[in-house]
Amino acid sequence: MALLALLAWFQADWKDAGMKAASAGDFVSAAAHFAKACDADPRDQDNCYFLGRALFTAGRYREAVPAFEKARKAATRAKLDRVERAAGLNFAALDLPAEAERHFKDAIQARQRSDRAAEDARIDYGAFLSRQGRAEEAAVLLEPACLENPRSARAHLESGRALLHLGRPGDAVKRLETAVQLDPANSPARLLLGRAYLQLGRTEEGEREMRYGSSTVK
């Protein structure tokens, strides 16, 4: 019992150190701390998930794969959607679309039983589908995501992007205008809005948004 208590103490200490390193933007150190916590107690629903996130943010995508797999096994029904979403993003970064799509779909299904605290995986899946040249599927998926996440600039941005790809600039403008209202410094949203305005013959507005968008690109 004393040994278990000591391991629990160290595990909590490593997790805390990882959180502090991640907050400071040092994801290499964060990953090292979370790795110790994950090894000490892989059944904790945070340890291996935080490890995977730190590795993903550090660009160490292949190393993140087993971390997210351990996190999937440890996750409760309330938290499984965040793990599936993160795994989908990681596989997308690895340019493994079949695996990414499987996890995005699992995240959306798991969200129905979750606490809804994680980001809506439909937004990420919609962005993924647009990049795969499947804008029609993306638009269908992102419509309810926008309605359920009305304050999400990214949801409106990705919906507008898909609609623009489909040759529907009028519908795209509505979404992109909302994205810009929610996040005025969002350069992709402004550039896409400018393109939509230009396609509609609204030249002055289009050029204005293109200038704003270009000026905010870092």
pLDDT value at 9 more than 70: no
Residue 66 and residue 57 in contact, taking contact as beta carbons nearer than 8 Å: no
Q: How would residue 10 be classed by pLDDT, with cut points 50, 70 and 90?
A: low
The pLDDT of 29-55, averaged and rounded, is 94
Domain ranges of the chain: 11-118, 134-218
pLDDT tens by residue, 169-208: 999 999 999 999 999 999 999 999 999 999 999 999 999 9
pLDDT value at 7 more than 60: no
pLDDT tens by residue, 125-167: 999 999 999 999 999 999 999 999 999 999 999 999 999 999 9
- pLDDT value of residue 194: 97
Residue 161 and residue 137 in contact, taking contact as beta carbons nearer than 8 Å: no
- pLDDT value of residue 5: 43
Taking CB atoms within 8 Å and a gap of at least 24, the contacts of 12-18 are 12/37, 14/40, 15/44, 15/46, 15/47, 15/50, 18/50, 18/51, 18/54
pLDDT tens by residue, 68-111: 999 999 999 999 999 999 999 999 999 999 999 999 999 999 99
78 three-class SS: coil
Percent of the chain whose pLDDT exceeds 70: 94
- Mean residue pLDDT of the chain comes to 92
At the topology level, CATH places domain 11-118 in 1.25.40
- pLDDT value of residue 116: 79
- pLDDT value of residue 156: 98
111 three-class SS: helix
Architecture label for domain 134-218: Alpha Horseshoe (1.25)
- pLDDT value of residue 166: 98
- pLDDT value of residue 1: 43
- pLDDT value of residue 125: 98
- pLDDT value of residue 101: 98
Torsion from C-alpha of 89, 103, 153, 217, nearest 10 degrees? 20
Residue 14 and residue 33 in contact, taking contact as beta carbons nearer than 8 Å: yes
pLDDT value at 119 more than 80: yes
The pLDDT of 51-62, averaged and rounded, is 98
- Cβ neighbors of 50 (< 8 A, separation 6 or more) are 15, 18, 19, 22, 30, 34, 37, 38
